[in-house]
Amino acid sequence: MALCDCDAKAQRDANVQHIAQNWGVSPEAASALYDTMTYVHGAAAIGGAVYGMKQAGNVLDHPNISGKVLGEYSAIKSGPLDRDMALTFSGARYKEVVLSEDTLLYRAGIADSPFGQYFSFEKQNGVVQTRIDKALLPVWPNGAASPLDTSFGIKIPAGTKVYIGDVGYQNGFYLGGTEQIAVPKPWDIPGVEIISKDPLK
């Protein structure tokens, strides 16, 4: 039997309250997160059908990465990432995966600073498209600038835990929505290697 509208609203309110308590955000922010996550759940089902993504504990069948899924998390079910990093994913939804082989990932930054914590499977070519696809504001709300002039290819070794999901929307035309791979503190991981360095257009 389907839930009546009042039951569905009560369930939604309970979930929003859980998000607010779990993440330490306002009820309004929690409501927005919940709505985003609800949408992402639908999109994830499509992605799972296309990419063959499987449940926790199973091999991840993905066109660009080989690994084992250790867990799947969201704004309702918090995972190992800290709040700030988790919220860079749409709906704070991501998979924790341990790599089964060395993997080449790409990121955009500045020429003298190759390392960062957010990557993609595709090489970045242009500054404007990178900002749109990865929701990279030129200046963040805290006033920090995010200049881009270089694309790096970086090898992440087998056995590394990475976190995969869709980039969260920022504002304006900084849409995000493309796949993002978070690698916490890669500069501290033995075996990480800079493979390529190319200027962005």
Q: Where are the domains of the chain?
A: 55-199
Say how far apart CA 165 and CA 167 lie, in whole Å.
Answer: 7
Residue 154 CB-half CA count within 13 A? 26
Chain segment 116-130, per-residue pLDDT in tens? 898 988 887 776 666
The encoded tokens of residue 145 equal 């600038």
Can you say how many angstroms the Cα of residue 14 is from the centroid of all Cα atoms in its chain? 25
Chain segment 14-49, per-residue pLDDT in tens? 777 766 666 566 777 767 766 665 554 444 433 433
Chain segment 147-195, per-residue pLDDT in tens? 778 888 999 999 999 999 888 656 554 445 578 999 999 999 999 999 9
pLDDT score at 1? 45
Confidence of residue 136 (pLDDT cuts 50, 70, 90): low
115: CB partners within 8 A, 6+ apart: 109, 154, 186, 187
pLDDT score at 55? 46
pLDDT score at 154? 94
User: How does 16-45 read in b/e, with b if 16+ C-beta sit within 10 Å?
Assistant: bebbbeebebeeebbbbbbebbeebeeebe
171: CB partners within 8 A, 6+ apart: 137
Say how far apart CA 128 and CA 134 lie, in whole Å.
Answer: 10
The encoded tokens of residue 84 equal 């700030």
pLDDT score at 145? 65
Task: Say what the pTM is.
Answer: 0.68
Of 161, 191, 152, 172, which is closest to residue 80 (Cα–Cα)?
161
Chain segment 57-104, per-residue pLDDT in tens? 588 877 888 899 999 998 888 899 998 889 888 888 899 999 999 999
pLDDT score at 80? 94
